Amino acid sequence: MSKPENHDKSITDQWISWKKILDASQQLVQLAEQKNWSRLERLQQDRDQLIEQFFLAQPHPELISKIQSDIKTICDQDRKIIQMVEKNREQLGAEAQRLKSMKNRIQQYVSTEKS
């Protein structure tokens, strides 16, 4: 009699674990949109651990098609995050160049004032 209960509980536990992964994936997108890179990095590591732990056990057959669909969504979200990170890196590079140029102009100005 307890076997169906254990089976249902196990499916429920797996679904709860999978939902945590989905929630973390959505949060990663939000953090990237907010350019909160430090929290994004920590959450990415946490989500990777959740995924690793989740797949230590064989997913229940009832969940497999949902998981497969969600994995595609997670991959799409990850690609979007990578694009945002790369765009931010380019913007930071351009900003660094602008600051360096401004610093050089200030140094030139200061050195001509001394002359």
Give the pLDDT of residue 94. 73
Give how far the C-alpha of residue 21 lies from the chain's centroid of Cα atoms, to the nearest Å: 11
pLDDT in tens, 65-98: 999 999 999 999 999 999 999 988 877 777 677 7
* Domain total in the chain: 1
Give the pLDDT of residue 3. 47
Is the pLDDT at 2 greater than 80, yes or no?
no
What single letter denotes the amino acid at residue 9?
K
The token pair at 70 is 């969600």
Entry pTM: 0.75
Q: Determine what percent of the chain is predicted with pLDDT higher than 70.
A: 89
Q: What is the CATH number of the domain that holds 61?
A: 1.20.58.380
In the structure, what pLDDT confidence band is assigned to residue 115 with cuts at 50, 70 and 90? low
Give the pLDDT of residue 79. 96
Give the pLDDT of residue 97. 77
Which of 24, 4, 25, 15 is closest to 72 using CA atoms?
25
Q: Look up the domain containing 31 and give its range.
A: 2-114
